[in-house]
Amino acid sequence: MEAVEYLLDLAGIGRKRMKLCWVSAAEGQLFVDYVTQFSEQTQELGPFSPDEFKVPLAAVEQTLDSPRIRWLLGMSRQLTERENVYHEKVDPEEYKGLLHEAIEEEYEKAMVLEVIKEGPQLVREISGRIGLPKPRVSFWISQLRNTGQAAIEGYDKTTPKFVALAA
């Protein structure tokens, strides 16, 4: 859940738009209290327009589905509470930093991919849409091309336009 909260913050949606509470079937009033509290909280945040967050939401979903993030989340307890293959435990704070770094990278890559799914784009256009510096967009375009997820499709004078390839 912490990873999802972190991603929602990265996407500009905010972690306060999500809540997880454990309630048993015998705790009806507690359930009502949680729902009331969350409803009040979301009303204070104001309306949410999924259309405005179409690209970030798709990137959040793609990030959570990435093999790298799924592996890191699945290995969390093994690495921090037990030990890795070298018989070492990873400090929980160090692991959290590593996870956050991986989430940021996968989210950036997913944002670039989502934008080029819309059609041929120049690096500067992608950069303007998602707010990443052009060198960072170029890096992710290179990675996506290397994995067969993106290609050049046309030019604007001598500047290439990039598009996503079907998976």
pLDDT of residue 87: 85
Contact between 137 and 121 (Cβ < 8 Å): no
Say if 18 falls within a structural domain. yes
Q: Could you tell me if residue 22 is inside a domain? A: yes
In a domain, 6, yes or no: yes
What is the reported pLDDT for 12?
93
Q: What is the mean pLDDT of residues 66-77?
A: 94
DSSP collapsed to 3 states, 46-88? CCCCCCCCHHHHHHHHHHHCCHHHHHHHHCHHHHHHCCCCCCC
Residue 77 pLDDT exceeds 80: yes
Domain for residue 12, yes or no? yes
CA–CA dist 105, 108 (Å, integer): 5
* Structure tokens, 53: 């967050």
- Tell which wins on pLDDT, 78 or 107: 107
Rounded to the nearest integer, the mean pLDDT of the chain is 94
> Residue 85: inside a domain, yes or no?
no
CB 161 within 8 A of CB 153: yes
Assigned domain for 26 exists: yes
Which residue in 83, 146, 150 sits closest to 113, CA to CA? 150
Rounded to two decimals, what is the model's pTM?
Answer: 0.89
38 within some domain: yes
Specify whether the backbone of 160 is left (phi greater than 0), alpha (psi in -120 to 50) or beta: beta
Mean pLDDT of 64-68: 96
Confidence category of residue 15, pLDDT binned at 50, 70, 90: very high
Q: Lowest-pLDDT range, 39-53, 82-96, 127-141?
A: 82-96
Q: If you average pLDDT over residues 109-137, what whole number do you get? A: 97
Check pLDDT > 90 for residue 95: yes
Q: Which residues constitute the domain of residue 19?
A: 2-45
pLDDT in tens, 41-59: 999 999 999 999 999 999 9
Residue 167 has pLDDT above 70, yes or no: no
pLDDT band with cut points at 50, 70 and 90 for residue 86: confident
- What mean pLDDT do residues 155-162 have? 96
Q: What total number of domains does the chain contain?
A: 1
7 inside domain:
yes
Question: DSSP state, 90?
Answer: P
